[in-house]
Amino acid sequence: MTQTDPIENGVWYFSGDLLFASRVQGAAVNAGLVFSHLSQWPQTHPSTPRYIIVDLATKSGASAEIRNLASTHFPAARCIAFGPHVQAPRLSKARQDGFDPVMTRGQFDASLATIFQAE
């Protein structure tokens, strides 16, 4: 799929945390979205992402590259980053890289009930 595909129904979730991924997947599926748990940018796109989410606790080293690729290939996708509140430099770097919003893990977890609602 490419950015010209009409249906942007995917949630691309970049994280090494399998347990928390199931919570994000549940929220995405409940919102009618296609969930993809990814460890790196895919060669073939499992869906056209509406949301690209990066867990800074496990993927902070790749976050700038993911954000850059998202801007190039899927500029309409909402790029979200979250991480531990004690890792302020990672959160700050994600903001500089263009993620919006950037949240602590607690904020992201609390937003799961509503984050995938139509904008």
Work out the pLDDT band at 118, boundaries 50, 70, 90.
Answer: low
CA distance 81 to 5: 24
- For 70-80, write each residue's pLDDT tens digit: 999 999 999 99
Q: What is the pLDDT of residue 3?
A: 43
How much is the pTM?
A: 0.91
Annotated domain spans of the chain? 10-111
Please check the confidence at residue 5 and state whether its pLDDT lies above 50: no
Q: What does each C-alpha distance from 82 to 4, 11, 44, 46 come to in angstroms?
A: 28, 15, 25, 22
Q: What is the pLDDT of residue 15?
A: 95
Task: Please state which CATH class domain 10-111 belongs to.
Answer: alpha beta
Q: What is the pLDDT of residue 119?
A: 55
Residues 51-67 have a mean pLDDT of 93
